[in-house]
Amino acid sequence: MHIETLPVKVAGDPFFTVNCYLISATAASDCVVAIDPGDQAEVILKQIATRTLAAIILTHGHYDHLGAVTELVEATGAKLYIHQDEVANVEEGYEAVRKGFFRFLKFVNPETNSYDNPAATRAPGVAETLTEGELLELCGLKLRVMHTPGHSKGSLCLYASDEGVLFSGDTLFKGTCGRTDLGGSPAQMHDTLARLATLPPRTVVYPGHEGTTTIGEELQRGLSEY
């Protein structure tokens, strides 16, 4: 698997970035999948260049992971995938982007002094919904859907077992887990982390924010106690 990490600035805030991952079978592959395109659609499109964006997968529906989805879908026709339990959160995420949220400084229209971002206002149509255990085969990649609630109800991780790669969204970070006070549940997070702890220690974890880690490194830090 070839992984390109784009730390896109969310809402033009220089201090807040989300990792948008572009993944493909090989560096020479013409077909790419985007995970969590949080913002800066123009940066993501430039990186995709002449390749085909076949799909966009959201690890969950928080506003910082989906700000560029509409523009990408409109520009490329890519299919959007989310977990079935996350549909309502994705709608809320779009609503947060539309309203500008408080961070969305770049969307302030100086003429009206309103936070309108017309591109983000339109949800990109119906998403394909995913369920636990499903195997997504896209662009020659095989991604197993793990339903990992805790940070949000329908948070998912994408696990490529052959490659030993896990895209963990806001469920697991280097040295900590995601917050559970944004629509999640501490009890579910506990169970989810116990499940992730059973993955092979060499598994490389690509989180929604900050740098990569491995399951082994996190086990040493006490993964189940986060």
Contact residues: Zn ion, CB under 5 A: 62, 64, 170, 208
Closer Cβ to Zn ion, 24 or 59, answer by number: 59
Q: How far is the CB of 176 from Zn ion (least distance, A)?
A: 13
Looking at beta carbons only, is 15 or 27 nearer to Zn ion?
15
Rounded to whole angstroms, the Cα distance separating 33 from 200 reads 24
Q: Are 52 and 23 in contact (CB under 8 A)?
A: no
Nearest approach, Cβ of residue 29 and Zn ion (Å): 27
Residue 53 bridge partners (DSSP): 32
Whichever of 39 and 71 has its CB closer to Zn ion, that residue is 39
Phi and psi dihedrals of 59, rounded to 5?
A: -70, -25
Percentage helix, strand, coil for the chain under 3-state DSSP, each rounded to 5 = 30, 30, 40
Provide the phi-psi class of 186: left if phi over 0, else alpha when psi is between -120 and 50, else beta: alpha
Q: Where are the alpha helices (DSSP H) in the chain?
A: 41-48, 69-76, 87-99, 118-121, 186-196, 215-221
**Minimal distance in Å, beta carbon 65 to Zn ion?**
6
Q: How many of the other CB atoms lie within 10 Å of CB of 182? A: 12
CB 113 → Zn ion: shortest distance, Å? 28
How far apart CA 39 and CA 198 sit, in angstroms, is 33
Q: How far is the CB of 60 from Zn ion (least distance, A)?
A: 6
Q: Which is nearer to Zn ion, 64 or 71 (CB)?
A: 64
- Minimum gap (Å) between residue 207 Cβ and Zn ion: 9
Nearer to Zn ion, 64 or 218 (CB): 64
Closest to Zn ion by CB, 170 vs 218, is 170
